[in-house]
Structure 1
Amino acid sequence: MAKLDETLTMLKELTDAKGIPGNEREPREVMKKYITPYADKMETDGLGSLIAVKKGEENGPKIMIAGHLDEVGFMITQIDEKGFLRFQTVGGWWSQVMLAQRVTIVTSKGEITGIIGSKPPHILPPEARKKPVDIKDMFIDIGASSRDEAREWGVAPGDMVVPHFDFTVMNNEKLLLAKAWDNRIGCAIAIDVLKNLQGENHPNVVYGVGTVQEEVGLRGAKTAANKVQPDISIAVDVGIAGDTPGVSEKEAQGKMGDGPQIILYDASMVSHKGLRDLVVSVAEELNIPHQFDALPGGGTDAGSTHVAGEGAPSLAITIATRYIHTHGGILHRDDYENAVKLITEVVKRLDRKTVDTITYE
């Protein structure tokens, strides 16, 4: 693997961390380690979202930059008498990307490796072979011979299960392959925006937030926004890369390497026109590459932040990523760095007058 620089080391630690919804302690600790040097104050909300406060102008508007800490994964629900584990998906999964994949079960006694299994095709009738295996018929094999042995190893109902996947810099070193880009890349962007603001005058107070439980209903963004009460909110997340075989531009416009995606519309929110116009104008002024997308399905933390409290103008800025909600995804490092640059420059322009103008756009 290519030698890891400071940024790649951070990205590896963030994506290697294990944290399904409701179990975000490990990625929260990694984010906390990297963002604390750039924050004036660290807080959490009641669900465990991490809130790093960077003060510019004390009484300036409050700007929330939110990435979510959780990743899609699974939870153990039962151990059968032969030691096989039944599980529940936590977050959205498609059955065809799950079977025969390696997973890590996080138990009270440490981590255990398993594989998602099902009946072999050799014993299935011809009609059944043509159909995808239902998730409810899958199980996890950890090599235990009985329920008692699995329990002795520390396995218990409620244990977190995450994909097993190694962070990899690909032959094209701009392309990064890892699990949990959704949404540790958003957490990394929040960290680097605060880092970029060191020594800079910004006419506001910036909140770099790692939210919890996004994948099960944008829940942590709601509680974090209720605590912060932002004047402006930007959710940073992954978007769909439509640059692989079989995907038409009508289905997904995004292309890796073409810049951060400015989301016009998704199932959780119509993006705020005034904020969107400002972001686009800054990108054009500074020649920062960017692209647009609209997603009829799915949503981001902006779906919660824009209706929290009395409401806040909100926008989602995303990184085009291949194969999200699977074991491993690919994104382009330039898109990540351009997103950091764009958001940093937008923050510098968000003084009280500008925010008031945006709010009543």
Structure 2
Amino acid sequence: MEQKTLELFKQLTEFPSVSGFERELRGFVKNKLSTYTEEFVQDRLGSLFGVLRGDESGPKVMVAGHLDEVGFMVSGISDKGMISFQPLGGWWSQTILAQRLQVITPNGPVNGVVGSIPTHLLDESQRNKPVDIKSMYLDVGADSREEAESFGIKIGMQIVPVCEFTPLSNPKKIMAKAWDNRYGVGLAIELMENLHKEKLPNVLYAGATVQEELGLRGARTAANLIQPDIFFALDASPANDMTGDRQAFGRLGDGALLRIFDPGMLTHRGMVEYVEDTAATHKIKYQYFISKGGTDAGQVHLSGIGVPSAVIGICSRYIHTSSSIIHTDDYAAAKELITKLVRGLDRTTLNTILERA
């Protein structure tokens, strides 16, 4: 991974931006995209896309990551200064206990730890029982509600995990928070960089949606705005390779993901064939993926009269926790693949895809 890409993803993954709190990150992304285009569209929920106008008679191609990450929102402050919180996005409760989190306030981040009872104080029945998120709290070191409020904490503020961007001893593996889905945001930016000097056979809308983690909300409104002919979601999916099972879907280092099924979308046959043919032609490494969770494509493909859609992803270990790991070779494969897919999408290719539904 090039140094400039590493620096981009360090900035993106360390940025606090849970669902509903995407405004500042959107500004950062728009600034990056403005190097490559002067035209932008934004829906009323906040999804943002830069536009590259190639052949106006060609298809409208929509490519989107999503700005938001899973996190929490302050839902209360106790008399003892403890912070209760509401999950934003899907969390398994046992990944939250004893984790460092930050409340993002106008005065800056306020660090804390999710309180957990030491094993010495638990009886046998408690040790074997999962802890409900509703009974958890964030300890920021305050002794009272007033002291917590003096730190700048108020109900409704976002809370994010703490995890620095960390290349591991194997430098092709990088640990960070929010690979789901700063991967897609960064790739949308680099896609625009790759293509902005070319005369495309289409009109490209590349950017990122909001509130994906709360039910693909920004995807619906963005699709209504753009009314695309074809859509590519850029998203990180859960790796399942930790035990060494070669039959498991989602293996780090085995290439980009071609998602063929999830609960929200059975991938259009013409799209699967287009991705397969493009990858084979250019010798791009990819792997098939079946998922139990959905992406923005689940909303976009049902918009209008139907939008052929595909997910060009990478797998990431431990998504929807405070720290996740990706492989840089997978990112390189996904970047080459989405670039070639967009570059080849003229009106004839779109018609072929539609005919092969």
Q: Give the TM-score normalised by the residue count of structure 2.
A: 0.96
Corresponding residue number in structure 2 for 1:279: 275
Q: Does 1:258 align with 2:235?
A: no
Amino acid at match of 2:6: L
Amino acid at match of 2:272: R
Separation in 2, partners of 1:150, 1:216 = 28
Q: Does 1:227 align with 2:225?
A: yes
Instruction: Indicate which of 156, 172, 183 corresponds to 1:158.
Output: 156
Note if contact 2:71-2:159 (Cα within 8 Å) is conserved in structure 1: yes
Corresponding residue number in structure 2 for 1:188: 186
Instruction: Indicate which of 336, 339, 345 corresponds to 2:331.
Output: 336
Using the TM superposition, give the Cα deviation of residue 4 of structure 1 relative to its aligned residue in structure 2, in angstroms.
Answer: 8.0
Corresponding residue number in structure 2 for 1:139: 137
Deviations 1:9-30 (A, max 9, x none): 1011111111111001232122
Using the TM superposition, give the Cα deviation of residue 291 of structure 1 relative to its aligned residue in structure 2, in angstroms.
Answer: 0.5
Deviations 1:222-264 (A, max 9, x none): 111110100000001012212102x7456x4221111101000
Amino acid at match of 1:273: R
Separation in 2, partners of 1:47, 1:248 = 41
Separation in 2, partners of 1:173, 1:276 = 32
| Structure 1 residue ranges, 4+ long, deviating more than 4 angstroms after superposition | 247-250
Amino acid at match of 2:191: V
Corresponding residue number in structure 2 for 1:6: 4
Matches within 5 A, 1:235-246: 235-245=233-243
Note if contact 2:219-2:300 (Cα within 8 Å) is conserved in structure 1: yes
SS of match in other structure, 2:35: helix
Q: Closer, same or farther in 2 for the Cα pair 1:32/1:147, shift >3 Å? A: same
Matches within 5 A, 1:299-338: 299-338=294-333
Note if contact 2:37-2:196 (Cα within 8 Å) is conserved in structure 1: no
Instruction: Indicate which of 65, 85, 88 corresponds to 1:87.
Output: 85
Corresponding residue number in structure 2 for 1:345: 340
SS of match in other structure, 1:118: coil
Separation in 1, partners of 2:238, 2:135 = 29
Separation in 1, partners of 2:330, 2:28 = 22
Corresponding residue number in structure 2 for 1:129: 127
Note if contact 1:13-1:30 (Cα within 8 Å) is conserved in structure 2: no
Amino acid at match of 1:258: D
Separation in 2, partners of 1:58, 1:176 = 40
Number of residues of Structure 1 aligned to a counterpart in Structure 2: 356
SS of match in other structure, 1:114: strand
Flag structure 2 segments of 5+ consecutive residues without an equivalent: none
Note if contact 1:267-1:299 (Cα within 8 Å) is conserved in structure 2: yes
Separation in 1, partners of 2:52, 2:253 = 30
Separation in 1, partners of 2:192, 2:2 = 22
Q: Percent same amino acid at aligned positions?
A: 47
Separation in 2, partners of 1:35, 1:170 = 29
Deviations 1:52-81 (A, max 9, x none): 111111232100111000000001101000
Separation in 2, partners of 1:288, 1:4 = 18
Separation in 1, partners of 2:82, 2:311 = 41
Corresponding residue number in structure 1 for 2:61: 63
Instruction: Indicate which of 332, 339, 359 corresponds to 2:354.
Output: 359
Separation in 2, partners of 1:293, 1:249 = 13
Separation in 1, partners of 2:139, 2:26 = 29
Deviations 1:303-357 (A, max 9, x none): 1110122221001111011010011111011111111111111111111121122
Using the TM superposition, give the Cα deviation of residue 198 of structure 1 relative to its aligned residue in structure 2, in angstroms.
Answer: 2.7
